[in-house]
Amino acid sequence: MNIELRHLRYFVAVAEELHFGHAAERLRISQPPLSHQIQMLETQIGARLLARTNRSVALTPAGQQFLVDARQILSLVDDAASRAARLHQGRSGELKIGFTSSAPFIKTVSESLSTFRRLYPDVKILMREMNTREQITPLSEGELELGLMRNTKLPDNLEWRQILREPLRALVHRLHPLAGCTSISLTQLSREPFVFFDSRVGTGLYEDILGLLQRHNISPYITQEVGEAMTIISLVSAGLGVSILPASFQRVRLSDVVWLPIEEPDARSELWLVWARHRELSQQAIKIIDLLSESSVCLQSTD
């Protein structure tokens, strides 16, 4: 036989009532099995806990100590159970999300994240900036639970959902000849000095935008290779060339930069939410997937 929580519950009841009959009543059982269980507990422990004559029940010193311990253990069990439940329900715990640098510029994303923080303040959101390529392995291995990335070819152990489909826009300096157009065609950019990502950075946008240009048989004249979208915008602002970026970057308003719609209909980029197919998603993850999906329904394109 082993000590069970039942024994502790029974013992605490008797210790509090100091009367087997009343304790049994409180426990909704009859008195004899209660006496029996207490005896079992005492032999199991190897100590008399309750000094009982047929007329009175009192705690022995060992019983006094054990009462304290038993109460603590019982409340720890409750705590452990509710802590596990909170974690399961996604009301606490942590959520590891990888994201491409462009993600936080997107209203949908930043709003969903702040809504999540407000709704579940006890969930630690761990955001790690990683480019599309870097996220694949951690997602497969469970190191990251969710990834925010640009549309790309994924291994089939990863599942994805489109969060946002937004137009690509051309950026030119205010004094550039094209700045006055209401929209432009990609060919009009072909001979312009092009500010763009270094291929080694691994941004999804690199393949995305270069793919677009290749589909239209344009090989851009890349003069500046940088690491971050912000740098692209500031170099355009400084008049060092033109570029193409998703419309959501328009939120970054630097002086002297003009954003122009592109006429080609495939000048679009998608933001994807990605997770491991066979790995069970946490409630935390499910909740943020829901939040991001919801808001992306309302707002398919951001300006």
Whole-angstrom CA distances from 205 to 4, 86, 185, 269, 270 are 59, 38, 19, 8, 10
Nearest CA to 211 out of 168, 155, 255, 272 is that of: 168
By a kind-dependent CB cut-off of 5 to 8 A, residue 40 interacts, out of DNA, a copy of itself, none, with DNA
* Residues facing residue 261 across a β-bridge: 169
Q: Establish if 227 lies at the interface with DNA (CB under 7 A).
A: no
Least CB distance from residue 25 to a copy of itself, whole Å?
18
By a kind-dependent CB cut-off of 5 to 8 A, residue 28 interacts, out of a copy of itself, DNA, none, with DNA
Q: Establish if 33 lies at the interface with a copy of itself (CB under 8 A).
A: no
Residue 248 and residue 270 in contact, taking contact as beta carbons nearer than 8 Å: no
Residue 157 and residue 234 in contact, taking contact as beta carbons nearer than 8 Å: no
Residue 172 and residue 233 in contact, taking contact as beta carbons nearer than 8 Å: no
Residues numbered 25 to 84 that lie near DNA (CB under 7 A) are 28-33, 35-40, 52-57
By a kind-dependent CB cut-off of 5 to 8 A, residue 57 interacts, out of DNA, a copy of itself, none, with DNA
Residues numbered 51 to 80 that lie near a copy of itself (CB under 8 A) are 51, 53, 60-63, 65-66, 69-70, 72-73, 76-77, 79-80
Q: Using the rule CB under 8 A, which residue among 15, 23, 27, 49 binds a copy of itself?
A: 49
Give dist(CA 189, CA 301) in Å, integer.
Answer: 24
**Cβ neighbours of residue 72 under 8 Å, at least 6 residues apart?**
none
Nearest CA to 134 out of 150, 113, 111 is that of: 150
Least CB distance from residue 187 to a copy of itself, whole Å?
52
For residues 34 and 148, which CB has a smaller minimum distance to DNA in the complex? 34
Options 22-30, 102-110, 185-193, 279-287: segment touching DNA (CB under 7 A): 22-30
By a kind-dependent CB cut-off of 5 to 8 A, residue 265 interacts, out of a copy of itself, DNA, none, with none
